[in-house]
Amino acid sequence: MRSKFFAFAALIAWCMPPLAQACAIAPFTPPEVTVQPTGHTNILVRWDHGVTQQGNVAIAPKSGRETLVIAPELRGNAADFGLVFGFPARPELSEPPTELFATLATMTRPLPPPVQFGGLFDGATATAPPSTTAPEVAVTEERVIGDLQITVLTAKNGRALEEWLRARTYVVDAQDRANIAYYLNRRNLERFSRAPDPHFVAIQLTAKARAAAQNELTDDEIEPSEQPLAPYDIRPIGFTFSTNMPFLPIRFAADGDPTQPVTLYTISSSPLIIPGAGLAFHGRLGMEVREPSHALARLAQPGDRLLRLELRIDPRRITRDPELVPQWTISKEIRPTVGDALLILAPESTPIDAGIVRPAPGELRAIDDAPAIADPPPPPAAPPTSTRHWPFFAAQQMLRLPLLLFFAAPFVGE
């Protein structure tokens, strides 16, 4: 199995080389095998008290907590699927609700176009105590979420991490080594932590799922590039870690792959954006998120701001991780109509060196990708009610009156 470092840090990644390639946030596959993204990436960033405001001044705290949720969705040789992410501190793993992104898409769906007359959290997992799996690599947590084997680890140097990955069928090239070195260089992480403690997360299919994938791909009539991962239990994965500011760890996605569309949801006490993104939704969350059954019950509080941002990322231009910044000027609810051009936020500040593409005016438009809602079942039939013929009923009562007086007369006399 081989794969290539390519993914949008914490977004998703895929690769293309011969055994499995490594990347600090991307997938790994062999050179003769192509693993392709499904065309769109969904990400959620929850930032807990990332900034506070005094007047018109934003005050950054000493430390905050970011929860990053990704939902891997790829097509290709499932047996060659693999991802690697880099973080400035040890992340805590969690399993968000499976319906999380479907719920977010429904909550932020654009308004339907006007009518034209004459012509609209934790599932089954397995954990392991800290252990040393290589002389200079330490595994701090292992967990199974669905059909994914997730390993949190640290490495003293890039060579040790490369050997650990190669031992697990990852193939590391020159770009991958540069990506690993970026996260191991604590100076690159000092923006996010005063005392960086680089950690990596490696994600692969479980041994059982990989064996099933290899068996399924023995039929010569099936093209590997057309094999979806849908038959496997691929669920959203959450990473919560300490950081001075919210960001997307996409430096490991640096590669020669083409530009990819990304939908980014942000939840915080203030509007949180990436400059250069199109604003597809902004609103305050209500009391419904307190319901235990709500998909955001463990990720949000009533009154938090929910934003949906549409952006494009060019892996060829990524040299660093892009930060998310507060946008105090957004105050009213924004919900465009399907097809409307999206408002581009702070285009002049677009972090091009982080791979964010500055869109042309009108290039990004509102789309409705929320899952279809089935028609509600018809209400149960009301029980039959008795109907009376009122003239006949009145005559019947008049005939009963003399009988009533006849039997009551003896008592009246007394």
List, as one string, the DSSP characters of 194-248.
SS---EEEEEEE-HHHHHHHHHHTT-TTS-GGG-BSTTS----EEEEEEESS-B-
Nearest to 258 by CA among 61, 11, 14: 14
pLDDT of 228 above 70:
no
Instruction: Kindly state the percentage of the chain with pLDDT values over 70.
Output: 66
Residue 175 lies in a domain: yes
Does the pLDDT at position 319 exceed 90?
yes
pLDDT computed for residue 121 by the predictor: 42
- Residue 381 in any domain: the answer is no
Among 43, 48, 42, 9, which residue's Cα sits nearest to residue 298?
Answer: 48
Total residue count of the chain as it appears in this document: 414
Q: State the alpha helices, DSSP H only, in 369-389.
A: none
CA distance 82 to 158: 18
Decide if 43 contacts 8 (C-beta within 8 A): yes
Q: Two tokens at 357?
A: 């593409």
Task: Kindly tell me the sign of the dihedral angle through the C-alpha atoms of 101, 121, 84, 31.
Answer: negative
**pLDDT classification of 1: cutoffs 50, 70, 90:** very low
- Give the model's pLDDT for residue 73: 67
Assess if residue 315 is contained within a domain.
yes
- Is position 318 within any domain? yes
Q: List beta partners, residue 25.
A: 85
**Amino acid 7: pLDDT:** 38
- Residue 324's contacts (CB-CB under 8 Å, 6 or more residues apart) are 45, 47, 50, 245, 246, 247, 248, 266, 272, 273, 274
pLDDT of residue 312: 94
What integer best gives the mean pLDDT of the chain? 77
DSSP secondary structure letter of residue 146: T
Residue 248 placed within a domain: yes
373 occurs within a structural domain = no
Q: pTM, whole model, 2 decimals?
A: 0.77
Burial of 320 (0-12, 13-18, 19+ CB in 10 A): middle
Cα within 13 Å of Cα(362), Cβ side: 0
The number of domains in the chain is 1
Closest CA to 101 of 27, 8, 25, 11: 11
- Whole domain around residue 173: which residue ranges? 25-356
Instruction: Determine, yes or no, domain membership for 350.
Output: yes
pLDDT-derived band at 87 (thresholds 50, 70, 90) equals: very high
Q: Which of 72-86, 90-104, 194-208, 323-337 has the lowest mean pLDDT?
A: 72-86
Q: Say what the pLDDT of residue 120 is.
A: 33
Q: What is the pLDDT of residue 257?
A: 84
Segment 114-126 shows an average pLDDT of 44
Q: What distance in Å separates the CA atoms of residue 373 and residue 309, rounded to the nearest whole number?
A: 23
Q: Please check the confidence at residue 109 and state whether its pLDDT lies above 90.
A: yes
**pLDDT above 90: percentage of residues in the chain:** 48
Residue 239 pLDDT > 70:
yes
Higher pLDDT, 78 or 317: 317
| Pair of tokens at residue 327 | 């946008």
The pLDDT-based confidence of 95 (bands split at 50, 70, 90) is very high
Cα dihedral: 209, 210, 214, 215 (round 10): -30
Report the C-alpha gap between 322 and 315 in whole angstroms. 12
Q: How far is CA 379 from the centre of its chain?
A: 35
Position 15 in a domain: no
- State mean pLDDT over 122-145: 65
Buried b (16+ CB within 10 A) or exposed e, 139-175: bebbbbbbbbbbbbbbbeebebbbebbeebbbbbbeb
